[in-house]
Amino acid sequence: MDINAYLERIGVPATSPAPSLAALRQLHRQHVLSVPFESLSIHSGEKILLDPALLYEKIVERRRGGFCCENNGLFLWVLRVLGYKPRILSARVQNKTTGAYGPPYDHMVLTVELEGRRWLCDVGFGEGIRTPFPLESGWEEEQDGCRLRLRVEKDEWFLEKKEGDGWRSLYKFTLQERRFEEFQGMCDYHQTSPSSLFFCKSLCSLQLPRGRVTYLGRRLITTHIQADGSAVKTTRELTDEEIPAVLRDTFGVVLSGKLVPKDDDILPPPLSA
Return the active site residues: 68, 107, 122
Phi and psi angles of residue 94, each rounded to the nearest 5 degrees, phi first? -85, 130
| CA–CA separation, 156 and 202 (whole Å) | 31
* Beta bridge mates, 152: 157
Residues 6+ apart with CB under 8 A from 121: 24, 28, 72, 75, 79, 86, 109, 110, 111, 112, 129, 132
Phi and psi angles of residue 264, each rounded to the nearest 5 degrees, phi first? -85, 160
| CA–CA separation, 27 and 24 (whole Å) | 5
| CA–CA separation, 238 and 22 (whole Å) | 40
3-class secondary structure, 216:
strand
| CA–CA separation, 154 and 173 (whole Å) | 11
Contact 123, 202 (CB under 8 A): no
Q: What type of residue is 166?
A: G
